[in-house]
Structure 1
């Protein structure tokens, strides 16, 4: 049996981009339904960095107090290790105006729960958990909705009809493929292995400092109750890494970060180490009539810089600011297509700039590290700028914290705290 339902905007994917877009459109009075395939948001090793651009957006939406009430930790600067054991302060967030002078580390499920709670206060907002999209409904060349089915188990299939379908279903987007949109792939030299280590009361680290040893690279993010750790190795290394076993992996971690040597036993087996097949791609065209991709569905980002979530959120804000007035004004047909194209035009340049910066970082840091060329220290240019041009650390910090073309909440979406 198939049920048929109707909304104005169907958003597939309940990550940060999808939920923020749903919240903003609902605040414009537009009927919107977010569809998330999982039953909840509780999944480990999702992107958990909330940058200053997103924190400012939450303040503009009147959600700043709720956000700051979530248990979180903060990153105050980004440094590089030097051969003499010192640190080179590369990105100094203290040069930014408070309260947007840090990067917050917040479990993504807590952030999403908060956003959904706020969105549910809007009568035109709806969210469906445990439902997956299987195909698009296309009529006369125009996307008119999406086919849904239970993600796990049996149940009724549904035809969800909508004026616009927005794909926020990530870098493996089912709907992007169904729409016939193919991203351009960019080479990435590494994969990432994520794991957790216990945090001791004496661990007061609030800086982001990578560690290099030989061809090994490690980066740890201080969380409120634990360290979230990323190990980087050349792409395709997963089978060999696991074949060497957990003792070898523990020894690598302890060698890279001696302060972790007393706790690497928390890695019980290689099952506790989760590999991310890192990809980078970007759509040349983000839309077709009645359909739009944003976030990772439009541009999968490298984890370098941790900006993926925040770029996706900025996509959502721009989409709402452009799309909502058109829908409220009764725009349909070709005029609505021009609105979808306007989102692509606005958000393609920042995606291109960020991916260009990430590709440069891949070349000058990761490729050099895997070739064993970082033993004598980081590349000369950032060292000279950070040491002798003090404003450079503020420029680096602003680039990380806000990125190119940060968006502001539309006036109609703002609320008091």
Structure 2
């Protein structure tokens, strides 16, 4: 049996960040990822200001800014027959952290993996699928793993951290109880081409509402990344309508894109997301900790899931690195992580539940087909809202900083034009 200090199961943003931070602390850490690479489309592509600041604190800002990316600087609501209304202005934040970086998640994960690979205690094992927990004397001691060649092995560790997402296999194996909160919609992601001459700020976000449906388009350099929202449970009905029916839905919501809906060649081009909002009653058992979506699946409302997961990883590394270096992590140590990260999680999820009830729920029920007048009034008349919302989305209610042991010197980032 092989043994390490910490096993991180899941190579998403939380898992890769945790692996990097613990390795910089001198902990021997192994990250297990079941896929052969990070190339999965329509994962969260947002890197929030708190994460950009964290990357600078780690001394990686120069390399990060060289990655292909665009910048979301504001959230603007279109108003039929009138000028658009700015709901949130990220440029009101203090530079250089006054934007959300938009980039393919695989680029971000490869970036983190490359930085972690420079640390002698870091190991990344791709195509390694965790099939269960190794237990001994009431404590999790490691995981059962299926290797790329089909053989199995037990990997042992002082601590196992589950960062394997909203359908966490380790969470289920541990028998951790979960509270589900109602969500009124699911999402279907796809792309449509964008013509070079078309106006629109790169990374701009444009919503459109219809009776019982909605669409959000993110403007990219040469395409639109689009989320179509329909009532939860509608997937079978939508697929029964066929690709022509789906094209008609999109053309009705965005007539300006009707000339290119044929780019949706088949329903297989749609990536369905079963939107969930849930939270574990307890994030840990002896020897196992869940963080990120494994502990609290987030709605895409506000786009804050990645931000929250990475902050979980920072707090986990900060609080547990000393215990891991000593070779003994107790349940009391794991409770410290949960106590630190549960309150901001509750705040964010409460805000998302409010958005579900007041905005998404009425739209999905066919009771609303335009932005609520109260929202437009506040956005127009209360300038502070345009500053508060970016702060909450960009940094969260309890932003985390890089632990001292993980920081590396680098040139101070310059404000961006």
Match of 1:358 in 2: 352
Confirm or deny: 8 A CA contact 2:213 2:231 kept in the other structure: no
**C-alpha separation in 2, matches of 1:258 and 1:59:** 42
SS of corresponding position for 2:259: coil
Of 287, 293, 298 in structure 1, the residue corresponding to residue 295 of structure 2 is 298
| Deviations 1:212-240, CA, capped at 9 Å, x for gaps | 12222000112233211000000011111
SS of corresponding position for 1:263: helix
| Deviations 1:261-312, CA, capped at 9 Å, x for gaps | 2211111111111211111110010011111000000000111111111110
Alignment partner of 1:339 is 2:333? yes
Match of 1:99 in 2: 96
Q: Which runs of 4+ in 1 moved over 3 A?
A: none
Confirm or deny: 8 A CA contact 1:136 1:143 kept in the other structure: yes
SS of corresponding position for 1:194: strand
Of 257, 262, 281 in structure 2, the residue corresponding to residue 260 of structure 1 is 257
Shift of 1:77: 0.8
**C-alpha separation in 2, matches of 1:68 and 1:251:** 39
**C-alpha separation in 1, matches of 2:213 and 2:283:** 37
Shift of 1:85: 4.5
Of 138, 163, 170 in structure 1, the residue corresponding to residue 165 of structure 2 is 170
**C-alpha separation in 2, matches of 1:185 and 1:169:** 18
Residues 79-90 of structure 1: matches in 2 within 5 Å? 79-90=76-87
Confirm or deny: 8 A CA contact 1:183 1:284 kept in the other structure: yes
**C-alpha separation in 2, matches of 1:25 and 1:70:** 24
Match of 2:415 in 1: none
Shift of 1:331: 6.0
Match of 2:175 in 1: 180
Match of 1:220 in 2: 217
Alignment partner of 1:273 is 2:286? no
Shift of 1:80: 2.2
SS of corresponding position for 2:341: helix
Confirm or deny: 8 A CA contact 1:13 1:169 kept in the other structure: yes
Confirm or deny: 8 A CA contact 1:299 1:351 kept in the other structure: yes
Confirm or deny: 8 A CA contact 1:47 1:309 kept in the other structure: yes
Normalised to the residue count of structure 2, the TM-score between the two structures is: 0.95
Shift of 1:341: 0.5
Confirm or deny: 8 A CA contact 1:119 1:125 kept in the other structure: yes
RMSD: 1.4
Question: Which blocks of at least 5 consecutive residues in structure 1 are unaligned?
Answer: none
Alignment partner of 1:397 is 2:390? yes
Shift of 1:134: 0.8
Confirm or deny: 8 A CA contact 2:6 2:324 kept in the other structure: no
Confirm or deny: 8 A CA contact 2:185 2:364 kept in the other structure: no
SS of corresponding position for 2:229: strand
Of 197, 205, 215 in structure 1, the residue corresponding to residue 201 of structure 2 is 205
Shift of 1:104: 1.3
**C-alpha separation in 1, matches of 2:27 and 2:222:** 40
Alignment partner of 1:349 is 2:346? no
Shift of 1:68: 1.3
| Deviations 1:12-35, CA, capped at 9 Å, x for gaps | 000010000000000001000000
| Deviations 1:123-143, CA, capped at 9 Å, x for gaps | 000010000111111111011
Normalised to the residue count of structure 1, the TM-score between the two structures is: 0.95
Match of 2:230 in 1: 233
Farther off after superposition, 256-265 or 337-346: 256-265
**C-alpha separation in 1, matches of 2:311 and 2:197:** 36
**C-alpha separation in 1, matches of 2:184 and 2:88:** 24
**C-alpha separation in 1, matches of 2:183 and 2:383:** 32
**C-alpha separation in 2, matches of 1:219 and 1:15:** 24
Farther off after superposition, 269-278 or 291-300: 269-278
Question: Which blocks of at least 5 consecutive residues in structure 2 are unaligned?
Answer: 411-417
Count of residues paired in the alignment: 408
